[in-house]
Amino acid sequence: MTRQTLIAGNWKMHGLTEALGFFGAIAPIAAKSPATVLVCPPATLLQQAARACDGTVVRVGGQDCHAAPSGAHTGDISAAMLRDAGATHVILGHSERRADHGERDADIRAKAEAALAAGLVPVICVGETLSEREAGREVEIVAGQLAGSLPENAASVDLVIAYEPVWAIGTGLTASVADVASMHAAIRERLPNPATSCILYGGSVKPDNAAELLGLADVDGALVGGASLNASDFTAIIEAASRKRE
C-alpha cells in the first residue's frame, strides 16, 4: 500500500491579512506535486485562507482545537468551528502547546477524538527534549506519548503523526539523518496501522535538508515551521517531496 506524502506548514503565531498572497504563490507548484500540501495559518486567517485556496489543491488546517464541541470556553475553538471555517486538518500536541499550555497526552487524545468526530484529520505531534535524549530515553518518551495521545479508534483510521525532536526546534541543533531514520522506524512499529500511517518529520525542515530527510524510508513528509512562511522556501520543500514520489 502507498502511504500518503504530506507537506504541512505551521505558521504558528505569524501572519496578517497581507500574507494571504502566499497561497496563490504556492498553488501552481502544489498542483504539480503528488504530495498533499497543507498550510495551518493562525485562526484569524483560516477562513480567508480557505477561500484563497478554493479551486486549488492546497488544504488548510488549524493549529489546535478544544476537546468539547461547544461550550463556555472563552478563547478556545472547537473542531467543528475549524471545519466550518474550511479546515481539513488540525495540528494537536505540538511541543509548544505541551510546554506553554501544559497539555498532557490525555488532553491530546480527547482533542484527536473531537477532531475525528468533526471530520478533521488530526496531525498528532510527539517528540523528546534534549535532556530526555541525553538520558537515552527518547524512544521511551515518544512511545509513551503515542500510547497516551492516539485516539481510541486509532486502529480504524489512517493516522498522521509528526515527530519533532524538541531539542532541534529553533535551537541551532540538528538531528542527524540516522537519528531521524531510527526514531521514525520506532514510531512506525508502534502504530496500530503502520502500513498506511503517515509520519512527518518536524525538526527545522528547510530547502537545503528537505530532500535528504524526505528520502528516508519511514519519513512520509514534513511539518514545516519557519520555512513555511516564505513561499519560495515552502515550494522548494514541496518539490523535494515530489522527487520522493517519482
Q: What is the CA radius of gyration of the chain?
A: 17
What is the mean pLDDT of the segment spanning 123-127?
A: 98
Which residue ranges form the domains of the chain, and what is each CATH number? 16-225 (3.20.20.70)
CA dist 53 and 24 (Å) reads 8
What is the mean pLDDT of the segment spanning 119-143?
A: 96
What is the mean pLDDT of the segment spanning 36-50?
A: 98
| pTM, rounded to two decimals | 0.96
CA dist 130 and 128 (Å) reads 7
**Sign, Cα dihedral of 169, 172, 173, 175:** positive
The residues annotated with a catalytic role in the active site are 94, 164
Asked if residue 204 belongs to a known ligand binding site, the reply is yes
Cell of 167: 531539542
Q: What is the pLDDT of residues 64-109, one digit of tens each?
A: 999 999 999 999 999 999 999 999 999 999 999 999 999 999 999 9
Q: Where are the beta strands (DSSP E) in the chain?
A: 6-10, 36-40, 59-62, 89-92, 121-126, 160-163, 198-201, 221-224
Asked if residue 209 belongs to a known ligand binding site, the reply is no
Asked if residue 15 belongs to a known ligand binding site, the reply is no
Asked if residue 33 belongs to a known ligand binding site, the reply is no
More confident residue, 1 or 174: 174
Per-residue pLDDT band for 245 (boundaries 50, 70, 90) equals low
CA dist 147 and 142 (Å) reads 9
Asked if residue 119 belongs to a known ligand binding site, the reply is no
Quickly tell me which residue has 514534513 as its cell. Answer: 222
What distances in angstroms separate CA 153 from CA 28, 117, 165, one per listed residue?
36, 11, 26
